[in-house]
Chains A and B, each alone.
Chain A
Amino acid sequence: MTYSTVLFSLAGGALIGLSAALLLYFNNRVAGISGIVAGLIKPWQSDSAWRLAFLIGLIVSASLWFLFGGTIPIQFDTSLGVLAISGLLVGYGTQLGGGCTSGHGICGLARLSKRSMVATACFMITAGITVYGVHHVL
C-alpha cells in the first residue's frame, strides 16, 4: 500500500461522504444503495423518480470516467456460479438487514446509529470469516 493509494482512498471516501450529504440535505434521503435500488421494484410511485435518477447517476459515473480517459480496473477471481450465489445473498441479506455498506456502514455510522453499528460489525465479521474460509481453508 503506497502513500498515493491512501490519498486516493481518502479522496474517494470524501466524495462518497459528499454524495450522501447532498442526498440527505436536499432530498432528505439516506444514500443506502441497496434500499434505493430495491425501492424501484414496484409499480411507479412518487418516489420512483429520484431513485431512478440516483441509479442513473451511479451508472453514468463510470461512463463519464471512461469519457475522460480513466480506466477502472476490475478483477474477478470468482466463478460465475459463485457470483450468482453471492449476488442472491447480498440481495436478500441487505433487504432483511435493512442496508448495505453504504446505508449502514457509512450513513448509519455517520449518525452514530447503534443499529448500524451492530449491522456493520455483523457483515464485516461474516465477510471476513467467509474470505478466510474460501481462501485459506478450502
Chain B
Amino acid sequence: MSFRKTPQFLIFTAFLSGLIFGLGLIVAQMTNPAKVLGFLDVAGHWDPSLAFVMIGALVTLGWLQFLTKKSCQHNASKVDSVKPIYSKIDAKLIIGSSIFGIGWGLSGLCPGPALVSLTSGLTGSLVFVGAMITGFIVFKYLHPPKK
C-alpha cells in the first residue's frame, strides 16, 4: 500500500484541505456576512467581490483538475468515491437550493464562512451554526435514508 492511501495520510490531506479552504475564505473576506450581502444586494451599493472569489476558485480548480485529469466523473466507478452523483435535476434540487438561498440571503452566511467565523466567538456565529446543525438533523429526521 502506498503511503498515499494510508488512513493517516488521508486524514492529514483532509485537514490541510480544510485549513487552506478556511484561509481562502479569510483572505477573500468571505467570512464577513456584510460583504456577502453586498454582493447579493444588486440593487444597492453592489460589491462584486464574491464573483472574483468564484472566478479565482473555478479557474484554479478547473486547471488543477485538468492537469491531474481528475474530476468526479472519472472517479464515479471507484469504490471510495462519494459521488457517483445523482444526475437528475429534480424538485428536491430546485426546492432545496432555493430554500438555502433564502437562508443565505437573510444573513449573508453560508456553511463554510459560518464555521470559520466560530473562532471569533461572536454570539451571532454560534446561533447560526447551532441552527444550521439543527437544520441538518431536521432533514435527517424528515427524510431518513432508504434502507
Interface residues of A (CB under 8 A from B): 1, 5-6, 8-31, 33-35, 37-38, 41, 49-51, 53-66, 70, 72-78, 80, 82-102, 104-107, 109-111, 113-115, 118-120, 122-132, 134-136
Contact = CB atoms under 8 A, between A and B. Distances in A.
B31 A88 contact: no
Contacts of B78: 28
B139 A91 contact: yes
A62 B105 contact: no
A14 B13 CA distance: 17
Given A25-B70, A53-B18, A98-B93, A132 B26 contact: no
A42 to B, nearest CB: 8
Could you tell me the dominant secondary structure of chain A's interface residues? Answer: helix
A54 B13 CA distance: 8
Contact of B28 (A9, A92, A101, A113): A9
Contacts of A12: 23-30, 53, 56
Top 8 closest pairs, chain A to chain B, by CB? A91-B135, A13-B56, A12-B28, A61-B22, A57-B18, A97-B96, A87-B131, A17-B60
B134 A23 contact: no
Nearest to A128: B40
Nearest to B42: A128
9 contacts: A1-B47, A11-B28, A17-B61, A73-B32, A74-B31, A85-B103, A111-B71, A126-B102, A131-B41
Contact of A9 (B18, B56, B132): B56
A58 B32 contact: no
B24 A15 contact: yes
Given A128-B40, A136-B43, A89 B10 contact: no
